[in-house]
Amino acid sequence: MNIFYRLTLKILSKNKVRTLVTIIGIILSASMITAVTSFMSSLQDFWWIWLLHRTETGMAQYLM
């Protein structure tokens, strides 16, 4: 394993800019996936609350 560790460090130190851009890309991708998932979850919760409110107030006829 020691040779793999040394080889990895050598390659990463040789291509510092590419390594940095890759790390930033991974972080941005993970945060965008989290943001979109959170937004969709919030939208779904809002929709269910809106639907429940409309049905309780007698507005169910407009939903069909």
Q: Structural domain tally of the chain?
A: 1
- What pLDDT, on a 0 to 100 scale, did the predictor assign at position 54? 73
Judge residue 62's burial from the number of C-beta atoms within 10 Å of its C-beta, 0-12 exposed, 13-18 middle, 19 or more buried.
Answer: exposed
pTM for the full model?
0.62
- What pLDDT, on a 0 to 100 scale, did the predictor assign at position 56? 66
- Domain span at residue 47 reads 2-62
- What pLDDT, on a 0 to 100 scale, did the predictor assign at position 59? 58
- What pLDDT, on a 0 to 100 scale, did the predictor assign at position 22? 92
Q: What is the pLDDT along the chain (64 residues), one digit of tens a residue?
A: 689 889 888 888 888 898 899 999 999 999 999 999 999 999 998 888 888 777 766 555 555 4
